Structure 1
Amino acid sequence: MAISVMASDIIMQVLFIFTLIFMFLWTLNIPQNLFNNFRYRDRSIYAAKRHFVLGADLLSRSRSTGDRNLAKSAAEHADKSIAINPNDAAVHILKALALDLQGFTTSALEALEAALSPLTAKSLSDGERSDALCKRAEIKMKIGGGGGGVEAAVVDLVEAVRLNGGNTAALRLLGECYEKKGMSEEALKAYVELLKVEPRSAFGQDAVKRLRSGSGSS
């Protein structure tokens, strides 16, 4: 009985101390500040997502209609979302796609570099990173033009395939890069992998047939 009373006293003392601490913090307006911070953060996250969704819709409509003004608006919404949450890689990718659609390849590459930076890339799944790497490789080839662009693209494409072996766009582009480098054997391997994922690919079938006939392989 005495132990029970002692336990009750200890609990009451602890509760009393916590009450005093809370009252002290309240006088400093800390609980209200914390609440305001959480509420502001929630609103900010909602606003960032809203701009992303609007931008993605505008990008989709721009692709289907060919209206570059829609792509410009998509990039603007992406910028607004980035201003709120710069660590969301998906928004940087949205911006890159919108800029590329307008023909601003250098700016699109910069946006993809931001998306794939260590700070933001962790927000992407392996499949999403693979797609982003493939797109970056495509843009590097546009900008590089010569062998340097191809070399840089191959690095991205090899990593893209490593992250997602079923990325048919990366496999096709990798094969094309190897062919430009004169690496027919590696190109053939890439196209064979492409056909494993997409057996009905006319491009893959033609490429394999062409390379095998050229090398005398059966």
Structure 2
Amino acid sequence: MSPDVVLQVSLLILTLAMFFAIHKLSKQALTKLRTNSRATLQATRHFVLGSQLLTRARSTAHKTQSQSHAKNALNEAEKAVSLSPRDPGPHILKALALDLLGHRTSALRSLDAALSPPCVKSLAERERGEALVKRAELKLALNRRRRVDSALEDLDEAVRLSRGEADATAFCLLGQCYEWKGMRDEARESFERALTMDSGSLLARQGLDRLRLNQSPSP
């Protein structure tokens, strides 16, 4: 067999080997893509159902029914998390359900997961800001003295992300943080800002009343 024929046969064998290798890899990639798509679809279904259950839990006046809906929402959120652990939505849903059930420490851990890489990259700025406000609220509810500085960082970031248009809850919490740190002017400004966002905010009015009552008389 001449060298040219040997070279041509070798090239043909190499070409065929590359073709079959690429075909196999493409098939494996397609199978993986289909599996991931199926898992994502299932996770979305659990998330949507869990969100509906959480809405029912919040709108139900009957405590037993509310707790039952919240537990079912938590169950759906956990299923979604197991299928799509890098999606922040199920983590946030889980946190809200846990908070409604009174499990604040666990709720805080779920929000930490949602706001940590790589989950946080999938959150829009507004969604991230809302999650930060909720996390700050939980931090203050669990241990105000130890977590006030950390909560303040979350709230400052939330206001920055909202470009100053955060909801009244964020400014009320900011006011409380400043009040506890003895920063009266900043607290007053935050409570007043909350009232511009929501004129009926009871927390903002109570905060301003506290500041007025505790204010030292002018010389």
With normalisation by structure 1, the TM-score equals 0.79
Name the amino acid aligned to 1:193. R
Once the two structures are TM-superposed, the CA of residue 208 in structure 1 deviates from its matched residue by 4.5
Tell me whether 1:78 sits opposite 2:77 in the alignment: yes
Counterparts of residues 1-218 of structure 1 (less than 5 Å): 24-25=19-20, 29-65=24-60, 66=63, 67-145=66-144, 147-164=145-162, 165-167=164-166, 168-199=168-199, 201=201, 203-204=203-204, 207-208=207-208, 211=211, 214=215
Q: Partners in 1 of 2:33 and 2:51 — Cα distance?
A: 27
Cα distance, 1:182–1:45 mapped onto 2, change above 3 Å: same
Once the two structures are TM-superposed, the CA of residue 170 in structure 1 deviates from its matched residue by 0.7
Q: Partners in 2 of 1:27 and 1:124 — Cα distance?
A: 36
- Report SS of the residue matched to 2:118: helix
- Report SS of the residue matched to 2:131: helix
Per-residue CA deviation, residues 103-132 of structure 1 (Å, 9 max, x unaligned), is 111111100110110211111111111111
Cα distance, 1:199–1:51 mapped onto 2, change above 3 Å: same
Gaps of 5+ in 1: 1-16
Gaps of 5+ in 2: 1-11
Contact 2:43 2:80 in 1 (8 A): yes
- Report SS of the residue matched to 1:118: coil
- Report SS of the residue matched to 1:92: helix
Q: Partners in 2 of 1:91 and 1:155 — Cα distance?
A: 24
Once the two structures are TM-superposed, the CA of residue 33 in structure 1 deviates from its matched residue by 2.5
Per-residue CA deviation, residues 148-167 of structure 1 (Å, 9 max, x unaligned), is 13232212111111111222
- Report SS of the residue matched to 2:98: helix
Q: Partners in 2 of 1:202 and 1:100 — Cα distance?
A: 22
- The count of corresponding residues between Structure 1 and Structure 2 is 198
Per-residue CA deviation, residues 61-80 of structure 1 (Å, 9 max, x unaligned), is 11112421221121111111
Name the amino acid aligned to 2:192. V
Contact 1:114 1:120 in 2 (8 A): yes
Cα distance, 1:33–1:191 mapped onto 2, change above 3 Å: same
Once the two structures are TM-superposed, the CA of residue 102 in structure 1 deviates from its matched residue by 0.7
Contact 2:42 2:80 in 1 (8 A): yes
Once the two structures are TM-superposed, the CA of residue 203 in structure 1 deviates from its matched residue by 4.8
With normalisation by structure 2, the TM-score equals 0.79
Once the two structures are TM-superposed, the CA of residue 81 in structure 1 deviates from its matched residue by 1.0
Q: Partners in 1 of 2:122 and 2:30 — Cα distance?
A: 26
Cα distance, 1:24–1:148 mapped onto 2, change above 3 Å: same
Q: Partners in 2 of 1:68 and 1:209 — Cα distance?
A: 35
Once the two structures are TM-superposed, the CA of residue 44 in structure 1 deviates from its matched residue by 1.1
Name the amino acid aligned to 1:156. D
Range with bigger deviation, 111-120 or 67-76: 67-76
Q: Partners in 1 of 2:58 and 2:186 — Cα distance?
A: 33
Match for residue 5 of structure 2? Answer: none
